[in-house]
Amino acid sequence: MLCSKKLCPHCANMGKVMEKFSAKQPGVALFKVDSEEQPEVMTALGVERVPTLFIIKSGKLVAVKAGLMNPKELSALYDSAK
């Protein structure tokens, strides 16, 4: 799940990174939450800045990473998250 903002250039780039990642991991569901449209979600998750990525596996939060990543970094984070 990506927490982002519409006018944030880093969020837009992270969205593209997620799309590339998704093409290589077709079984992975991707979700985006807009920080301006759903501020209550951001507060509940403790998100302080965007973009922030949450990796959830088998219904459990296994990793959180704020900031921009490239596709290799995202794949490595996803693979290492347990």
Instruction: Give the Cβ contact number of residue 5 at 10 Å.
Output: 17
Torsion of CA 71, 73, 75, 81, to 10 degrees: -150
Question: Three-class SS of residue 69?
Answer: coil
- Domain ranges within the chain, ordered by starting residue: 2-80
Give the pTM. 0.89
pLDDT level of residue 43 (50, 70, 90 thresholds): very high
Furthest-apart CA atoms within the chain: distance in Å: 32
The per-residue pLDDT for range 47-73, each reduced to its tens digit, is 999 999 999 999 999 999 999 999 999
CATH 3.90.180.10 given to domain 2-80? no
**Class of residue 80 by CB neighbours under 10 A (exposed 0-12, middle 13-18, buried 19+):** exposed
